[in-house]
């Protein structure tokens, strides 16, 4: 083996694989066959994505081009890649290529770690987007609106007993305001997806 020839080169030569794919114009089903590796790769990608030329095209044809759909698709792709790496690792192990199997295993662990971090980041973002009903800021907003209601009642010259009745009735109607808001936010999130 020369310095420029690797074990992979030797294995490719033994398997009859060359740098360029040379195939007949049509296969047994009558489909056009690629004449080089680039075309063949493009065909395999389209087949993998069920006719779409890329993951982005696949998302566009499904009508989902929002950031949420892209993020979910990317996480799914990464997770699928870990299965591909696992398959390669198992093949290498069965072939007795323990060095290659170890490298693939390490790479798979790195990919899984990235998936875990991506999911954790996503969970953190979702948590940050939720409204904290117990936060001091929420109480500031609540008091602000109640003070504006009081000003509005004064400006329309509502009698004190009507103002008192309004706030008493509002207080009763809002006795479960946190639970009610959580339900409404849940419905809003469900409708947004």
pLDDT tens string for the chain (193 positions)? 455 676 666 666 665 555 554 444 455 565 655 567 888 888 888 888 888 888 778 777 777 777 777 778 888 888 888 998 999 999 999 999 999 999 999 999 999 998 898 888 878 877 776 777 788 888 888 889 999 999 999 999 999 899 889 989 988 898 888 888 888 877 777 666 5
Task: Indicate whether 117 and 148 sit together in one domain.
Answer: no
Domain coverage including residue 162: 136-192
Task: Indicate whether 44 and 71 sit together in one domain.
Answer: no
Q: Cβ distance 143 to 94 under 8 Å?
A: no
For the chain, how many structural domains are there in total? 3
Written as six digits, the tokens of 157 are 């010259």
Task: Indicate whether 94 and 121 sit together in one domain.
Answer: yes
pTM: 0.47
Q: Is residue 54 part of a domain?
A: no
Residue owning tokens 């095209």? 57
Choose one of 103, 129, 155: the last residue of a domain: 129
In angstroms, the CA 105 to CA 86 distance is: 7
Q: DSSP character for 146?
A: H
In angstroms, the CA 1 to CA 47 distance is: 37
Task: Indicate whether 119 and 141 sit together in one domain.
Answer: no
Task: Indicate whether 69 and 118 sit together in one domain.
Answer: yes
Q: For residue 36, how many C-alpha atoms fall within 13 Å in the half-sphere facing its CB?
A: 1
């Amino acid at each position: 083996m020369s310095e420029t020839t690797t074990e992979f080169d030797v294995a490719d030569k033994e398997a009859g694989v060359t740098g360029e794919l040379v195939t007949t114009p049509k296969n047994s089903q009558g489909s056009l066959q690629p004449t080089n590796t680039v075309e063949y790769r493009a065909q395999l990608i389209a087949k993998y994505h069920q006719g779409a030329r890329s993951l982005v095209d696949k998302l566009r044809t499904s009508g989902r081009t929002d950031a949420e759909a892209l993020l979910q698709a990317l996480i799914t792709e990464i997770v699928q890649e870990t299965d591909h790496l696992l398959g390669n690792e198992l093949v290498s192990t069965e072939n007795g290529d323990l060095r290659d199997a170890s490298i693939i295993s390490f790479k798979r662990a790195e990919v899984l770690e990235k998936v875990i971090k991506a999911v954790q980041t996503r969970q953190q973002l979702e948590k940050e987007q939720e409204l904290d009903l117990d936060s001091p800021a929420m109480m500031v907003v609540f008091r602000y609106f109640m003070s504006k209601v009081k000003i509005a009642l004064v400006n329309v010259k509502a009698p004190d007993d009507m103002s008192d009745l309004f706030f008493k009735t509002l207080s009763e109607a809002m006795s479960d305001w946190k639970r009610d808001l959580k339900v409404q936010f849940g419905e809003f999130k469900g409708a947004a997806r």
